[in-house]
A = this chain, B = another copy of it.
């Protein structure tokens, strides 16, 4: 149950429903309903009543735990569960401790004084009697209210909700509520460069040749050019999964890049150990360098990059010959290669990736329509992989997907090098 007028009205996309759905799936807990409502107690209560009436064992709520008067989830859940709301003095003290350093960042006229803030946040230390407190990650604590159904109350911001869910799942109350779950194995295979219809064909074939195929619960998902195949099965159907994996390997060896759920970003980070990489980006304008810097410890392999959005920048910062741009166009394989060579040289790197393309909506031509993107991966030993792709979607899709293609080209180059 996701609460929050800003989510209901679409101003914020709900990230908690999908994330919790994934966690429940991993646990083997069946999810029946996701509901979203605004900050009105009447609607919150109606949804609680509906879900409880459906006979669920567990209700998870997100949102409505802030200090403002329109945050009403705890009160409403308490009333629904027939419990009083009581002040947890120890919790109030913990919240005050959390607020002190945060307050230190604000000063000047208009900034609230500490007493005001503390009073506003006393509200957050009021919890349903007999419930278990989940310590705050931000300033909002969660609670687990035991009962039938058990209700887990979590804050709305995903970076607070996610660690607090892991705490919630460890409480005896939640363990009791999900005791009836089925234990499943779950395996994930990832592929790149195979259309979904090709996989559908293989799965039809697998169904014919694998005896217990129907005991495998397979879901496939195409996202940004990558195919994710998630298979869930009860432990005694493991042989069927092994056979499925054999079929996938036999037919799509080249497309499979991960059999253990690892993502391309993890694989590339591992392959970059001991290397020194630089980027040269045009249409992606830094998104690839930004993505390479995502993992903690990226400074071990990331030298840096040049965003050469303007042609002058390609010449001045990467040493791309303007004549090359004049002859082939800024979006061309020779320019991508010159950009990669320039990045190698300028950063004294042993690995470089260059991207130049037309993200749209303008700039397309009949020869080079929007979505045309040229890539070059170059290594210090002279190895070079150059590719041109035509990517679907709008400006944001093309830019995002370009970084994914670059990651796969990097992986291919580094794992065969």
Contact = CB atoms under 8 A, between A and B. Distances in A.
Given A221-B6, A285-B289, A286-B289, A196 B66 contact: yes
Given A18-B10, A46-B54, A285 B302 contact: yes
B285 A307 contact: no
Interface stretch (A36-44, A73-81, A84-92, A174-182): A36-44
Contacts of A106: 193-195, 198
Interface string A189-219: 0000111111111011000000000000011
Chain A's interface: helix, strand, loop or mixed, by majority?
A: mixed
Interface string A275-298: 000010101111111101110111
A194 B103 CA distance: 10
- Give the one of A43, A67, A304 with max B CB within 10 A: A304
B346 A316 contact: yes
Interface residues of A, number: 115
A290 B287 contact: yes
Interface stretch (A266-274, A320-328, A387-395): A387-395
A200 B35 contact: no
Contacts of A39: 219
B25 A19 contact: no
Contacts of A316: 346-348
A271 to B, nearest CB: 18
Interface in A98-137: 102-103, 105-106, 110-112, 116-117, 120-121
A228 interface: yes
- The 6 closest A-B CB pairs, nearest first, are A286-B286, A10-B18, A285-B293, A286-B289, A304-B313, A10-B21
5 contacts: A14-B14, A34-B36, A285-B289, A303-B312, A304-B308
